[in-house]
């Protein structure tokens, strides 16, 4: 069976963004009479609009690289978009998830950050209690069907003043977009994953906590040093939210747990060394302090 030709999704996606020179600062929704309605700042709606904007780009990339662009057959199913090889070869699908979050800013100095700097933010990157554990829960098909997993992420500022003006399309300049200073990144999922959940009371994987999008663009999370297999093992065994026995909640604790659980002392030592190397060379500002929050 022939294979779909290999391609670098990150490189191709970034090239398309440059070619299209898109403006992400969406002003509103337009009806057929040319009336523009303001959007507001509902994060789910903003996220959906980002998805709609990039669908034509994803379609082009899929067509040019012998894939079909598909979406899950039901809502709340991973991933948002699927690249399926047109030759239907199993195990070669590409998962693409769209994630959004907005910036907030420090009003006073805090743990090495200055007043006015963006607070470190975290993207939620899907459940760690579903398909990572059994392969089929809340995912289209089986986890093993997918060769690659990518995240296309958007970070933006919310407009200070909410615009409720309804105008004609010829008066578009009168509308203040609800989202400003939009930045976009695309990266393999495991390379941007952190070691804590996306929020304290959920079972969602959290991205690395940073206020610099460069860490996400360049894929500088701790698992970029430790590898995808370690990422999958770490999160498929991460304690459930209501678990009474929290055996580990950080990578340092995971290494200790792994050392006791297996006889792979040499491999665990190597993982510790890689993690410490990452802390020295790549970790964001105040990383260990913020990890305790």
161 within some domain: yes
Structural domain includes residue 197? yes
Q: Is 215 a domain residue? A: yes
Tokens of 32: 């057929």
pLDDT of residue 128: 94
Q: Is residue 64 part of a domain?
A: yes
Domain count, the chain: 1
Q: Quickly list H helices, the chain.
A: 9-20, 43-64, 131-134, 189-192, 213-217, 223-226, 228-236, 251-261, 265-281, 287-291
Predicted structure pTM score: 0.92
CATH value at residue 184:
3.40.600.10
Give the pLDDT of residue 2: 42
pLDDT of res. 1:
37
Residue 268 lies in a domain: no
Query: Along the chain (293 residues), what's the average pLDDT of each consecutive run of 10 residues?
Result: 65 93 84 88 87 94 94 91 82 91 93 92 94 94 94 92 80 84 96 91 90 95 97 95 83 94 85 96 90 82
Domain range enclosing 131: 9-221
At residue 183, the pLDDT reads: 94
Q: Is the dihedral of CA 209, 212, 213, 216 positive or negative?
A: negative
How many C-beta atoms lie closer than 10 Å to residue 200's C-beta? 9
Q: What is the pLDDT of residue 245?
A: 80
Rounded Cα–Cα distance for residues 40 and 42 (Å): 6
Scored b (16 or more CB within 10 A) or e, 147-163 reads ebbbbbbbbbbbbeeeb
Q: Is residue 116 part of a domain?
A: yes
Residue positions annotated with a catalytic role: 80, 97, 99
Q: Is residue 90 part of a domain?
A: yes
Closest by Cα among 145, 140, 125 to 190: 125
| Class of residue 255 by CB neighbours under 10 A (exposed 0-12, middle 13-18, buried 19+) | middle
Instruction: Report if residue 29 sits inside a domain.
Output: yes
């Amino acid at each position: 069976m022939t294979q779909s030709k290999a391609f670098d999704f990150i490189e191709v996606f970034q090239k398309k963004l440059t070619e299209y020179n898109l403006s992400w600062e969406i002003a509103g929704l337009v009806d057929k009479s040319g009336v523009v309605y303001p959007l507001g700042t509902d994060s789910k709606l903003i996220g959906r609009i980002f998805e709609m904007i990039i669908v034509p780009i994803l379609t082009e990339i899929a067509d040019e690289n012998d894939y079909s662009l598909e979406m899950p057959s039901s809502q709340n199913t991973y991933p948002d978009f699927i690249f399926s090889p047109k030759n239907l070869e199993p195990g070669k699908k590409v998962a693409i998830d769209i994630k959004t979050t907005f910036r907030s800013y420090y009003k006073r100095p805090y743990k090495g950050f200055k007043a006015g700097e963006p607070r470190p933010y975290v993207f939620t990157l899907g459940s760690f209690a579903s398909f990572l554990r059994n392969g089929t829960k809340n995912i289209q098909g089986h986890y093993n069907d997918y060769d690659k997993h990518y995240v296309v992420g958007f970070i933006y500022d919310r407009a200070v003043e909410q615009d409720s003006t309804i105008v004609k399309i010829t008066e578009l300049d009168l509308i203040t977009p609800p989202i400003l200073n939009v930045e976009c990144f695309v990266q393999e999922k495991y390379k941007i994953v952190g070691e804590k959940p996306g929020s304290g009371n959920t079972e969602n994987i959290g991205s690395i906590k940073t206020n610099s999008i460069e860490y996400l663009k360049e894929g500088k999370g701790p698992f970029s040093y430790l590898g995808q297999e370690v990422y999958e093992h770490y999160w498929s065994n991460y304690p459930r939210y209501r678990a009474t026995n929290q055996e580990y909640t950080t990578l340092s604790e995971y290494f200790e747990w792994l050392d006791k659980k297996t006889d792979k002392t040499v491999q665990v030592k190597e993982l510790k060394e890689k993690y410490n190397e990452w802390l020295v060379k790549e970790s964001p500002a105040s990383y260990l302090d913020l990890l305790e929050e």
